[in-house]
Amino acid sequence: MIDYTFAFLFATWVGAAPASTPHDLTPRLQVGQELVFDGTIQETRASDGGKAESARRISVRALVLQKSAKGVADVGVVTIHKEKEAINISAPTKLDDAIAVRLDKVQVDSKGHARWIPSGAEIAPPVDLDMISELGFFLEMPDEPKKVGDKWVFEREGQPAVRAELLGVETILANRCVAIRVDQESANWTNDDINLPAWKITSRILFDPKTQSICRLEREVATREPAAPLDQHIRKLMLEQATNVRFHGTVLQNQIEDFETAYQAQHDLDAALALDDTTRARKLHSMQHDLKFAMQRLYSSPYRPIIEKMHERAVDAEKWATVEEKRPVPVLGGPREVRIGQRAPHFLLHEVQSGAKVSLKSVRGQSVIMVFVDPSSDLSLDALRTTLTAVAKEKRPAKVFAVGNRIDSEAAADLHQKVPGDYVVCTGGATDSSYGVRGVPHVVCVDGQGILRVNQKGFGPEVYSTLVQNLSVLPAANVADEKDTKKSFRR
């Protein structure tokens, strides 16, 4: 049973509206409108070894940049995470104590359905523990008015169905709001299949018909890692609308210019960190010049401090650009969302036997497969065996690494006895968190061009089929680079 008492201390129940009274739930967004939400995130991780808890503050700004004649709005969103003790979190005048800041663009239709810009892809359920962006206040609403007790379902491509129910009417700070419950869960949440991650999302939303916007969001996300039925992570989010204003003229123009500058800088910084050392340094230096010019604009906005922080990060990143085997400075927005077919994020491994370093740069030109394992887990051993079988079947030039934590030479030898084959045992030195490796087994495949081909969580039949499908089209190793990579594969 989910306890929402803490978030409704200032809410007064005034009785459910008559069942025959319909409520129009159509959202409204206008050019220049800015919604600001403040709240908290509480996380609890429970396992057979105990329980750990943490909390932090969160603030989200959503600025409507433009709107089409069909009612489709482009919205810029800034998500700021700070320590729990942070004060005045909704006014980002200082970001020195920010844990993470992320800028996003989404396209919201007339019913509140949001998609990513520019890809147009569906926004995934918020089950990624490393995700910085918060977009839960964008909720697709039904076409027709709903009465108390009415239920409806939304379908998302490649996602479980979203189920909603109108609960009643509540008063929040003298405003009568419609209470809506929203549920979504993975197909394996209630069964015994523990080979894949499982999750369940339960939300309670208060919609203000007067302003036609969500005034409060309470959400609980429960996730279960593969092969760990007792290891559950629960994240409770509470967001409350702080302001809902609309800007015009020069003020709006300054807001949009500063947001666009910061958003582009974030994109450029992400791209620059994936370049080679020489090109990266030149790109970062150019970024600093552009950002410094933007910081000197006459009229400021709440987004100006983000530009200043981007400039600081570009300066720091340039200092690291020529340092060998150093992990790139993380972007201001925290971990990126890695996608199949894009350039693989950074990783750095240490071979157990030789101590040699293996990084994304050192293996350039040769396809690699990393199997993150726990030598004591049968699922991990099966995943490693399956990977070796797939590589042998396709006869592709792919190097296999078995990666684990706290593995010494004795444990590496024992692993080779349990799973014989041509692979190197490593410990994970620094793997970009955007891979999402939070449990084992986890299989990652990067081709010789540095493109991510497989990023598979857990173990099941799909591991073999996904590997075979991608190994069959992997480009052959770059002969010119083979000499440069041989040193990195010493046993």
Residues 426-438 have a mean pLDDT of 70
pLDDT for the residue 479: 37
Indicate whether 377 pLDDT > 60.
Answer: yes
Q: Which residue has the higher pLDDT, 370 or 193?
A: 370
Report the C-alpha gap between 26 and 473 in whole angstroms.
47
Report the C-alpha gap between 26 and 110 in whole angstroms.
8
Residues 371-396 have a mean pLDDT of 85
Report the C-alpha gap between 274 and 342 in whole angstroms.
11
pTM listed for this prediction: 0.62
Q: Is the peptide bond preceding residue 142 cis, with omega within 30 degrees of 0?
A: no
pLDDT for the residue 19: 55
Indicate whether 206 pLDDT > 60.
Answer: yes
Instruction: Count Cβ atoms below 10 Å from residue 66 Cβ, excluding itself.
Output: 12
- Return the percentage of the chain with pLDDT > 90, whole number: 32
Q: 347-489 in CATH: which number?
A: 3.40.30.10
pLDDT for the residue 8: 41
Report the C-alpha gap between 9 and 26 in whole angstroms.
27
Q: Among positive and negative, which fits the CA dihedral 460, 464, 469, 473? A: positive
**For residue 158, what pLDDT band results from cuts at 50, 70 and 90?**
confident
pLDDT for the residue 485: 39
Residues 376-396 have a mean pLDDT of 84
pLDDT for the residue 324: 44
pLDDT single digits (tens) 233-275 = 889 999 999 999 999 998 999 899 999 988 988 888 877 776 6
Question: In what order do the strands lie in the sheet containing 367-372?
Answer: 357-359, 347-351, 424-431, 398-404, 367-372, 442-446, 452-457
Q: Which element (helix H / strand E) includes 116?
A: strand 114-116
Please give the radius of gyration of the chain, using alpha carbons only, rounded to the nearest integer.
Answer: 25
Q: Which residue has 């004795």 as its token pair?
A: 410
Report the C-alpha gap between 399 and 382 in whole angstroms.
18
Q: What would the DSSP string read from start to end of 290-342?
A: HHHHHHT-SS--TTHHHHHHHHHHHHHHHHHTT-TTPPPPPPTT-S----TTS
Domain-wise residue ranges, the chain = 13-246, 254-320, 347-489
Q: Among positive and negative, which fits the CA dihedral 326, 331, 335, 336? A: negative
pLDDT for the residue 178: 94
pLDDT for the residue 300: 74
Task: Calculate the average pLDDT of the chain.
Answer: 79
Token readout for 15 is: 């009785």
- Long-range contacts made by residues 307-316, C-beta under 8 angstroms, separation at least 24? 307/258, 307/261, 307/262, 307/265, 308/95, 309/95, 309/98, 309/101, 310/262, 310/265, 310/266, 310/269, 311/265, 313/269, 314/265, 314/269, 314/284, 314/287, 314/288, 315/284, 315/288
Secondary structure (3-state) at 374 = coil
Residues 60-88 have a mean pLDDT of 86
**For residue 225, what pLDDT band results from cuts at 50, 70 and 90?**
confident
Measure Cα distances from 154 to 198, 201, 214, 290 in Å: 20, 14, 18, 43
| Weakest mean pLDDT among 95-109, 317-331, 354-368 | 317-331
pLDDT single digits (tens) 266-287 = 888 877 776 666 677 777 777 7
Measure Cα distances from 426 to 352, 360, 433 in Å: 5, 14, 18
| Weakest mean pLDDT among 51-65, 88-102, 315-329, 457-471 | 315-329
Indicate whether 425 pLDDT > 60.
Answer: yes
pLDDT for the residue 457: 78
Token readout for 61 is: 């700004």
Indicate whether 409 pLDDT > 80.
Answer: yes
Secondary structure (3-state) at 350 = strand
CB 153 within 8 A of CB 254: no
CATH code 2.30.230 for 13-246: yes
pLDDT single digits (tens) 443-476 = 899 988 888 888 887 777 777 888 887 776 665 4
CB 37 within 8 A of CB 57: no
pLDDT single digits (tens) 283-314 = 777 778 788 888 777 677 888 888 888 888 78
pLDDT single digits (tens) 471-490 = 766 654 443 443 443 333 33
